[in-house]
Structure 1
Amino acid sequence: MPVHPEIKKILDSIPQSDSKPKIIPEEHRKMFDAPVLPVEKRVQVYSVEEKTIPTSEAEIPVRIYTPKEADSFPLLMYFHGGAFFSGNLESHDEVVRPICMESGYKVISVDYRLAPEHPFPAALEDCYNVTKWATEHKDELKWDGKTLAVAGDSSGGNLVAAVSIMARDKKEYSITKQVLYYPSLDLDFSEFRYPSLVKNGKGYFVESNQLAEYNSFYLLGNVDTNHPLVSPIREENLNNLPAALVITAEYDPMRDEGELFAEKLKKCGVHVETKRYEGATHGFLGKFTHLVEYKDVYKRTADFLSSK
């Protein structure tokens, strides 16, 4: 289907140019980190708590969302998007709130360290270590001790997949489910291997010819983009990973790598649910989930998280 008319209005308002300005992380953060809705218009949550988690690498701020009063909760860790160099607790607050309330999970949103100040593997270490901290503070969090999910969008989806692989291999804790929203799973842009990088490469917010520069901040120091913790789609052994929900968008340059990852997981015996949102672009959570065509993404997430 065509791009959703409400999304097209925004796309048409963006000045088009063949030359792209150099990406300056500090400037990009100012633009990206601004939430769409004021707090009073966001989904209301029973309680929201700010906390700082000590890890072996750094002190990591988190925001803990509790959906209701209860004796125990399933737990979900949320890793925000932003190409590893932008995004924070506030930028994704309006995404995390409906996930919490629809699913009934207690959600911990992780404000991991950002590139280029902290390149790979800082973000991954932070997400892994804060998840480990959560499992070690069961009583404090009222965690049920059984259900531990991880979720994230875009680069956060990359971190979800990588943390799931690490947790399987290190065996320090067990993740039960993973949710990947339009994930960025292949950081090697030396060639465009996925048709969606070409078909959706220009004019849909995220442009393929800028992806290498976006990710260059995370990949400082000659990082091997074939490493499966950098590009999880390169992991050959996907056995025994958590059940996955993979959400993609029709007009996203990264659509095909997300859908290919889902197929690879299925071939390794992992339970996978997928949904491509037609007419949508990369980053539609929060920005366009008020539209009737996309508002069910949170219920879909909740249904997946509650399924056996």
Structure 2
Amino acid sequence: MNYRLLGKTGFNISEVSLGTWQVGGKWGEQFNHTNAERILNSAIDNGINFIDTADVYGDGESEKAVGKVIKSRSEEIFVATKCGRKLSPHINESYTVEALRKYVEDSLRNMQLDSIDLIQLHCPPTEVFYRDEIFELFDRLKEEGKIRNLGVSIEKVSEGLQAITYSNVSTIQFIFNMFRQKPIEELFAAVKANNIGLIARVPLASGLLTGKFSKTTNFGKDDHRSFNRNGEAFDKGETFSGVDYQLGLEAVNELKGIFPNQELALVALKWILQFDEISCVIPGASTPEQIENNLKVEKLAPLSAEQMSAVKALYENKIKPQVHQLW
């Protein structure tokens, strides 16, 4: 396992880490603690030392599973969670210092931890990124020992650029993959100059970049890939990275031509890790085997300059017109 610095947190974390949106089972299924513990232990056994969760994953059950496993292990494991998405309605006016403080304290109880290594605002409305009192709260929580670092999870590049104007923001979690390349030109230089850790989520575009989907692939009715393609439940950029499903399938076929006889999921992860600005990538897993397969990227040879250029050209010609201006 290779490790990278997570910005000014000072944490040395596994470049392939673990996102836990579906760690208790596949999307839409009831949370399964036995399965979650198998996945989490497998991740740690394989050298993963950074786990990203959220209070809304499994309505707190994911946090409970993470906390239980962390406390059973002797290794130093860095835990990141998120707050804010429980607010209903999820609008700027719902964000208050009191509400966010309660969510942080609830997460501490869920995980049975004294302090959270990294707390992240969970894709709040854009207006929240301009409210000083929200960011000041986390200075108070740090003074109280309840958190060690603050980060933000964003939908738009502009939100990340605004967030790092606050000196207490240490990390940005954002969608980054072959189909979402805008951050390269607008965010990377700024985060490098400010020593901000970058956590890349949705690295496989909700599975599109595995190359295993087709026109006839069926997703369960409670799977966001069925019900959120147009943003019916939350930002549509979280589902297939905002790319039209049919267009995505066409682009994936072109990628298979650029990378013949290679496992596309591993290539997609390697593409992300070729950027030095990235601290880690957090693919999800619903089985221990998926973790072990993702970690094969560590043995994959670097992509060539020609391959990187071909991916860029594919994005520019096919994907960019549909997604670039939106996020």
Q: What TM-score, normalized by structure 2, do the two folds share?
A: 0.35
More helix by share: 2
More strand by share: 1
